[in-house]
Structure 1
Amino acid sequence: MARSQPVAVVRRWLAETWPLAQAAAAATVAWVIALRLAGHADPFFAPIAAVVALNFAQGERGRSAVRLVLGTCVGIVVGELTLVLLAGGWGSLALATFVALVVAQALGANRLMRVQAAAGAILAVAVADGEAGTARLTDALIGAGVALVFTQVLFSPEPVALVRRAETAALGGMADILRMAAETVEHGTQAEAQREGLTRRMHGAREQLDEVGRAGPASARIASHSLIWRHERPTAARMNEEAGRIELLGVSCLMLIRTLVSTDPPRHSRLAHEVRELADALTDLATGLGDLHGRQRAVDRAFAVARRAAGEHAWPQMTLEAVAASVRFVCFDIMMFAGVAPQDAKAAVEQGAGEPRATAPPRDLHLLSLPRRLLDEHRHRP
């Protein structure tokens, strides 16, 4: 345990540093291309455009690169036209900045794109010494091109893995919070400090769910736009739907925790046991997202909890009935996330009946394993 924590810190540091290394490499490549191939004497716009385009999270860099470079191009064009008409000076700088912001806003740009347009105009006028030229626009396009090669070809993130990482973190975090909640209610009013820690963890879980919400659409965009991951478009579409289900599951878990810590002490041991079972179901999902058997284990655990919660006299008190409703919501969302048919999940939760079955997860088609998977499919084809 003592050794695993430093390893986790190193891995997190490497994960955070790797995009920075990519940005530095892209800036260097863009500068060399503009200097050596394009023959520009001072190609500062090329590395700036490359770094700005890569300064976003994985899955969002391609689209953001296009938007921000568009803003840069608007600013440069406005700045160059201002130099042609008015030459340099503070008046030209003010006018170019204002016009660039107006044009970017007219194009429907967001705040970052408007700022980039203004920055492009300012740099075009401030460093031009009153001389107009097309070199700066060419440099910006070179930087944008290098950034797109980095994001869409060389270092394009694998869509399924992008969502899987976010889902694993969110499910594991929710499982830990449920276990903490079970321990909190068992200690009763003597665990005030633990309740505060639970509140902080709930805020962290909300951030993890937001990350899942961003990763789902990002994976679909990567599969649609990246040259090397276009074959994963159907899988990415399913992953996007799955990410939406995990958000609902997270909301149900947070509602259960909020209701649980507000209940009266009677039957807390019973509630703690059920909550731990749900935490184990989430752990099964987190460790077996790409495994049908892991999903089925989670479904079986949730079904067992739902069947007990659906008992006629299981929750006689009003506060416990509220907890029971929250428990059923979590059970239902676990089953839905694992691919159980909606009508089967509803029957299992409301009546404790049926035999809910998970469905196979979206296929994780890595390029290296694709030939082997195609061979396996050919062998099993009638």
Structure 2
Amino acid sequence: MRRVRLTALPIVQSALGAAVAWWLATIPPIDHPQPFFAPISALIVLGGGLGQRLPRVLELVGGVAVGVLVGDLLVSWIGGGVAQLALVVALAMVAALLIDGGPLIVTQAGASAVLVVALAPADPTGLNLDRFIDALVGCGVGLAISVLLLPLNPVSAARRQIDPLLTTVAEVLESAAQALAGRDRAAAAQALERARETQADVDAMHSALEGANEVARIAPVRWHKRGHLAAYLDVATPLDYMTRNVRVLCRHVISLLQRDEPVPRVLPQSLRALAGAVRLLRIDLERGDEPREARVSAIEAARMATEALEHTGGFAGQVVIAQVRSLAMDVLLSTGLTRDEAQELLPILPEGPVSYG
């Protein structure tokens, strides 16, 4: 039921697009009796372009149109059959390449050509462009629905990518804190492994935010979402840095434990405070609130880490502390502060040599 709820809008888009495309192709001036390429094309565009950037949707439109047109031209000339199917698909993909198409448009051109050969017999009277016209109608309907009439909610699209990533960062920080407190190298290694798995999610986040930002700019019904979306856009780059810094932190937590350096009690506490700041940031983003509590928690994490600097006993411990401060900076930047503003809020490092003990 959760999956159904999350995909309710795409389902409505697809159902509406198929019905509208069929209806438009059956009324004057088009007036085709069985325009099955119209709903098929609408579903291809909607199904492949949901939540994607406009260039991807346009590639799908181009691929469908080129494939159907080339298929129609060739079927009217050489007819149908197994050999003809192979030739039509190959030539449709070549035609897509010749118009400088990307991988998506080339693949879709081939798929559309298959539909022409497999589903539509050759017209004995010669070339019939009805299928091509139906495909254009379906593509137009799919494009209009996905971009203008019922576009996806850009804030929801951004949240689906950023919320799990923030949650993972917080959980890794908590695991690292527990590993430090218990001097558990195996737990620290597990935290590092999980932190390394976030890169694919970071890449997906950037792609989703580009699409969400585009929807918010070009879809009038989503213009009112631009203010809320801006908060998620501000998070993207700092969150990318945050995942990288978490990986560095976990590696040096392992090094600290391997070197058997002392672990000041306040150091695991600073990691827990940092994890709390990340969780608060996620909640504030969802609500659209000013993330004041997240800032306070990040500053407190940096303060505790700076305090631990006086009690650490080696290089790895100093790097862990430096990474906590870097992560606190990332959180502050994620809340919309400039680097100068965030720098002023962080506690000043002690001057001179650090005494270990």
TM-score for the superposition, normalised by structure 2: 0.82
**1:126 Cα offset (Å):** 3.8
Judging changes above 3 Å, is the alpha-carbon distance between structure 1 residues 269 and 210 closer, same or farther for their aligned structure 2 residues? farther
How many residues get paired?
342
2:240 is equivalent to residue 247 of structure 1: yes
| 1:275-303 residue CA offsets vs partner (Å, 9 max, x unmatched) | 10100111111111267875222222222
Q: Relative contact order, CA 8 A, sep 6+: which one is greater?
A: 2
**1:74 Cα offset (Å):** 0.8
Match of 1:263 in 2: 256
CA contact (8 A) 1:178 1:276 kept: yes
CA contact (8 A) 1:54 1:61 kept: no
Q: Which moved more, 1:69-78 or 1:94-103?
A: 94-103
- Separation (CA, whole Å) in 2 of partners of 1:159 and 1:318: 44
Match of 1:334 among 328, 331, 335: 331
Match of 2:353 in 1: none
| 1:97-128 residue CA offsets vs partner (Å, 9 max, x unmatched) | 22221121222322222111112223323444
**1:238 Cα offset (Å):** 6.5
Q: Which moved more, 1:85-94 or 1:337-346?
A: 85-94
Aligned Cα root-mean-square deviation (Å)? 3.1
Match of 1:307 in 2: 303
Judging changes above 3 Å, is the alpha-carbon distance between structure 1 residues 172 and 324 closer, same or farther for their aligned structure 2 residues? same
Judging changes above 3 Å, is the alpha-carbon distance between structure 1 residues 293 and 14 closer, same or farther for their aligned structure 2 residues? closer
Q: Which moved more, 1:68-77 or 1:44-53?
A: 44-53
SS of residue in 2 equivalent to 1:289: helix
- Separation (CA, whole Å) in 2 of partners of 1:54 and 1:239: 25
CA contact (8 A) 1:174 1:279 kept: yes
- Separation (CA, whole Å) in 1 of partners of 2:192 and 2:90: 46
Match of 1:282 in 2: 278
Q: Tell me which amino acid in the other structure corresponds to 2:339.
A: P
Judging changes above 3 Å, is the alpha-carbon distance between structure 1 residues 316 and 57 closer, same or farther for their aligned structure 2 residues? farther
Match of 2:174 among 179, 182, 189: 179
CA contact (8 A) 2:13 2:146 kept: no
Match of 1:65 in 2: 57
1:1-382 equivalences under 5 Å are 10-16=1-7, 18-35=9-26, 38-56=30-48, 58-60=50-52, 62-90=54-82, 92-131=84-123, 132-189=127-184, 192=186, 194=187, 198=191, 201-202=194-195, 205-230=198-223, 236=229, 239-264=232-257, 266-267=262-263, 269-289=265-285, 295-311=291-307, 313-349=310-346, 351=348
Judging changes above 3 Å, is the alpha-carbon distance between structure 1 residues 238 and 156 closer, same or farther for their aligned structure 2 residues? same
Give the gaps of 5 or more residues in structure 1. Answer: 1-9, 354-382
CA contact (8 A) 1:306 1:327 kept: yes
Give the gaps of 5 or more residues in structure 2. Answer: 351-357
SS of residue in 1 equivalent to 2:268: helix
CA contact (8 A) 2:266 2:304 kept: no
| 1:55-88 residue CA offsets vs partner (Å, 9 max, x unmatched) | 2474316543321121111112212222344444
- Separation (CA, whole Å) in 1 of partners of 2:318 and 2:67: 61
Judging changes above 3 Å, is the alpha-carbon distance between structure 1 residues 74 and 321 closer, same or farther for their aligned structure 2 residues? same
Q: Tell me which amino acid in the other structure corresponds to 2:245.
A: S
CA contact (8 A) 2:65 2:135 kept: yes
**1:48 Cα offset (Å):** 1.8
Judging changes above 3 Å, is the alpha-carbon distance between structure 1 residues 316 and 349 closer, same or farther for their aligned structure 2 residues? farther
CA contact (8 A) 2:162 2:205 kept: yes
Match of 1:356 in 2: none
Q: Tell me which amino acid in the other structure corresponds to 1:182.
A: A
**1:247 Cα offset (Å):** 1.7
- Separation (CA, whole Å) in 1 of partners of 2:38 and 2:324: 55
SS of residue in 2 equivalent to 1:267: coil
Judging changes above 3 Å, is the alpha-carbon distance between structure 1 residues 195 and 322 closer, same or farther for their aligned structure 2 residues? closer
TM-score for the superposition, normalised by structure 1: 0.77
Provide the identity percentage: 28
- Separation (CA, whole Å) in 2 of partners of 1:211 and 1:14: 21
Judging changes above 3 Å, is the alpha-carbon distance between structure 1 residues 50 and 291 closer, same or farther for their aligned structure 2 residues? closer
